[in-house]
Amino acid sequence: MGVYIGNVELKGTWVLGDKSGSFDIEQPLDNDGYDALVTALNLGLGDVMEQIKSKVEAP
């Protein structure tokens, strides 16, 4: 979700097998407009995936 203060906010929970977690990430927009929103969402989703990866690979 893009917000008026110039950030994308990604919040949610995930479940993968017997592992689960939540995420709450804010990614700033570099510019105004839809392209900047999509770029920020992409970067934020990359962070979400890294968080999930670290939890799934942990013993």
* CB 29 within 8 Å of CB 35: no
28 in any annotated domain = yes
Q: pLDDT value at position 26?
A: 92
Q: pLDDT value at position 21?
A: 96
1 in any annotated domain = no
14 in any annotated domain = yes
> How many domains would you assign to the chain?
1
User: How confident is the prediction for the chain on average, in pLDDT?
Assistant: 89
Domain residue limits at 28: 7-57
Q: pLDDT value at position 5?
A: 67
- How buried is 40 (Cβ within 10 angstroms: 0-12 exposed, 13-18 middle, 19+ buried)? buried
Q: Residue 24: which residues within 8 A CB-CB, separation 6 or more?
A: 9, 10, 11
Judged against a pLDDT cut of 60, whether residue 3 lies above it is answered with no
pLDDT tens digits for 10-37?
999 999 999 999 999 999 998 888 888 8
Q: pLDDT value at position 58?
A: 78
